[in-house]
């Protein structure tokens, strides 16, 4: 492996940094976007059951908010009623929507970085290819024909092109996967929040 890095020359080092960063971001997103941390299947029904007759205590609400991303959105509605029992439906909706936007921002965190790596890696590989071609033409200048320099230039060009694609293709695949996963979570959060909002309005009127 080290011999390949040596043959590829210095242009491969930015690609190595991109590959390490991409791997770290992918692992982080896999851990952060688990269903249990974002939208546990039974959490909405549990929250409705707990608040079936009255608003639960602040301790219970805090536990709900720390449970998951969905719990944070649902807890924002309960906190709003706790702080202002006569809050209007419009204000209650606005409070939950604000919490939803904060949650959405957290879910989408690092996706732009992964997409940037997927876009930049082929360009970095192309840069290495150009540098390799420059070395090839440089070795032929002056009428000389140095096979060693010619082989080195070809190595730089091919290794960097290949490594750029090796980094970019998985990064693009994972970005699309995480983008689709986040979109699905956002739809679940939106529908759950809407259902919980109707429940809270009934609770306030009751």
What is the per-residue pLDDT for 194?
Answer: 95
166 is written with which tokens? 């090796």
- Asked if pLDDT for residue 176 goes beyond 90, the answer is yes
What is the per-residue pLDDT for 26?
Answer: 97
Q: Which residues contact 164 (CB under 8 A, 6 or more apart)?
A: 15, 121, 122, 123, 124, 125, 126, 128
143-170 pLDDT, tens digit per residue, is: 556 667 677 777 777 888 888 999 999 9
What is the per-residue pLDDT for 120?
Answer: 94
Give the C-alpha separation, 201 to 187, whole Å: 21
126-149 pLDDT, tens digit per residue, is: 888 888 787 777 666 555 566 676
Higher pLDDT, 87 or 184: 184
DSSP string, 141-163: GGG---HHHHHHHHHHHHHHHHH
Which of these ranges, 3-12, 63-72, 178-187, has the smallest mean pLDDT?
A: 3-12
Closest to 156 (Cα-Cα) out of 186, 126, 182, 178: 126
Give the C-alpha separation, 107 to 9, whole Å: 38
28-82 pLDDT, tens digit per residue, is: 999 999 999 999 999 999 999 998 888 888 899 999 999 899 999 999 999 999 8
Three-state DSSP state, 1: coil
């Amino acid at each position: 492996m080290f011999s390949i890095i040596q043959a590829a020359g210095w242009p491969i080092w930015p690609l190595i940094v991109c590959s390490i960063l991409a791997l770290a971001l992918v692992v982080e997103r896999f851990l952060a976007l688990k269903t249990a941390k974002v939208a546990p299947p039974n959490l909405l029904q549990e929250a409705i059951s707990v608040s079936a007759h009255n608003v639960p205590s602040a301790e219970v609400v805090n536990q709900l908010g720390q449970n998951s991303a969905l719990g944070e959105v649902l807890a924002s509605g309960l906190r709003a009623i706790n702080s202002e029992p006569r809050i209007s439906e419009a204000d209650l909706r606005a409070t939950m929507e604000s919490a939803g936007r904060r949650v959405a921002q957290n879910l989408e965190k690092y996706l732009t970085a992964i997409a940037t790596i997927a876009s930049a890696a082929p360009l970095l590989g192309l840069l290495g290819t150009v540098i390799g071609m420059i070395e090839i033409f440089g070795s032929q200048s002056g009428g000389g024909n140095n096979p060693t320099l010619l082989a080195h230039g070809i190595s730089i060009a091919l290794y960097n092109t290949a490594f750029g694609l090796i980094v970019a293709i998985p990064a693009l695949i994972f970005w699309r996967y995480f983008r689709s996963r986040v979109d699905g979570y956002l739809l679940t959060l939106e529908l759950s929040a809407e259902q919980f909002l109707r429940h809270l309005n009934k609770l306030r009127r009751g």
